[in-house]
Amino acid sequence: MKLSFAASAKTHKGEPIIIARRDGKFKCPCGIAYRTPGGFRKHTKSKECPVVASIAFGKNQTLCTYQGGLTVNLLESITTNPEQQEDQEDQEDQDEEDEEDQESDYSGTSDNYHPNRKRVYRVISPTASSCTHEEKWVVNGLDVVKELHHFKKRSSAFAKKSINSLSDTRLLSLDCIFLFCANQQLSVSTYLGITTHNMVMVEIMNMEYIDLDPNSLKWCSELSNYQFTNDEDRWMQLNCKTVGILNQAIATKVKTSIVLANMLHIIAPRMYLSPMEPNLEDAHVHTVISYAVKANGRMSNQEEPAIGKFKPDFITFVQIRSGRHDLVVGEFKSVKGRCSKSPSDMVKIGQEMKIMLNNLIREGIPSPVVCGILVEGNVWIGASTLPTRLIPIFFLIGKTCTTIKMDLSAPGFYRMVMLNSFSLCTSRSELSLLPNMLIQFTLLKVASRLEF
């Protein structure tokens, strides 16, 4: 006769509500274990557990209250085979040790964890995102698709224990979305080893950059330092200047120069005549990005369309006959509007891109590629140079724009690649950033023509 918690009649979905182990841990079905009853009681009081609402430990009874309201006494005398139970507990210990060996570097957690997450993370389309690794993507002799499959399984195991500590990279993997980035801290390829990470990034970051006329920087500098001759009819003075620049660009007969000059003609009046608060979501950001993306193609843009349950800030699409194909999605956030709850902006845009890619696949489009644009305000931290002490200084540096593309590396494996992050032009003093912006946005257009 052995005293234990939980009997077969008091289970939830076939598992004991609480398990008392030989090492003194109290383990909940949600995956969280505590060494003392007090820790488990705190776990239920904070309402983190989806199964147990409260637990009360007494001398002769242990009352467990389900989330549904049912209260049962878990402390019972049950007859078990001591050797069989010890073998079972030894196997559970071995499983935990194996899992800790695989993730000894605590790769399930990240600096960008979400302590304010209030709900359980859910996949957006379980049927469409079933991961298989029938096809191979071999880099440096390593089957990347197979390794990503194992990475997703480990992420699912971590999610059962503590969803709040998962990084964006692991959260995306729950939807079979795998984030690749030159920044090793963000890229899933880091878990494959540094050598493989470098080779993967060389393979998928083979971009074709456009060349700009050297006069582009000169035009931006002239507009950035432009002075009005008087306060009368400032709109006319500014347009005369921008039209003159546009005529110079047309004379070169270089398409990219004409596009840049036209962008200056459009956004300069906004920055000079109707500047907006930097903390707000700038309307001219929509104008700059939408024009840069669709300048060389037959595309349309629309603010706040719907993609499934999501409502992005910006989308670019192609209208073919009666059908609409979404190609680029954008999320624009100010410093105050940065997402601190689930899901983060990066996770959200990844989910939106996955839905767009699935729609293109259903339409029978071969080798589809979709793109994303994430704009966020950034607060940087510096330190004073006083010899006696370091004083942290917080200062705002414009907006950072991140360009992303997504395709399928194998059936059910969505490859999300961060192309570049760069500063976005938000004021007239930053007009010199426009040429680089145009180059980076052009990469979104040529991404679909590259072979991976």
Domain extents in the chain: 2-102, 215-275
∠ at Cα 275 (221, 332), nearest 5°? 95
Sequence-separated (6 or more) residues with CB below 8 Å from residue 37: 26, 55, 57
Amino acid making up residue 258? I
State the Cα–Cα distance between residues 328 and 349, nearest whole angstrom.
10
For residue 3, the model assigns a pLDDT of 34
pTM of the shown model: 0.61
2 touches 85 (CB < 8 A): yes
Amino acid making up residue 77: S
Give the pLDDT of residue 156: 87
3-state SS, residue 235: helix
**CA separation for the pair 212, 260 (Å, rounded):** 9
CA trace torsion 192, 193, 196, 201 (10° rounding): 80
- Would you state the pLDDT for residue 177? 92
Contact indicator for 401, 437 with CB cutoff of 8 Å? yes
Q: What is the DSSP letter of 138?
A: E
pLDDT at 126: 38
CA 27 – CA 443 distance, rounded (Å) = 50
Q: Beta strand 75-78 with 323-333: parallel, antiparallel or unpaired?
A: unpaired
Q: Which residue has the tokens 């004073």?
A: 384
The pLDDT value recorded for residue 138 is: 81
Q: Indicate the pairing of strand 33-34 with strand 26-27.
A: antiparallel
| Residue 106 parent element (H or E) | none
CA distance 355 to 32: 32
- Tokens, residue 236: 């006319």
Q: How many CB atoms lie within 10 A of CB 105?
A: 8
Q: What is the dihedral of CA 96, 99, 100, 104, to 10 degrees?
A: 180
Residue 304 DSSP one-character state:
S
SS3 170: helix
The three-class DSSP label of residue 274 is coil
> Would you write out the chain's pLDDT as a tens digit for each of its 452 residues?
333 343 333 454 444 455 554 445 566 656 666 666 666 666 666 556 767 777 777 766 677 777 666 676 665 533 344 444 445 445 544 444 444 444 433 343 333 444 444 444 444 443 334 455 556 778 878 888 888 888 998 888 888 877 777 888 888 998 899 999 888 888 998 888 888 888 888 888 776 677 778 888 899 999 988 888 888 888 899 999 999 999 999 998 888 888 889 888 888 887 787 665 544 444 555 666 666 665 544 444 554 444 554 556 666 666 666 667 777 777 776 545 455 555 688 888 898 889 888 888 888 888 888 888 888 775 444 443 334 433 444 344 457 888 899 988 888 889 999 988 888 787 788 888 888 888 888 777 644 443 33
- pLDDT for 20 equals 52
Element at 223 (helix H, strand E): helix 215-224
Q: What is the structure's pLDDT at 251?
A: 93
Give the pLDDT score at 382. 42
Q: Are strands 413-424 and 177-180 parallel, antiparallel or unpaired?
A: parallel
pLDDT of residue 210: 74
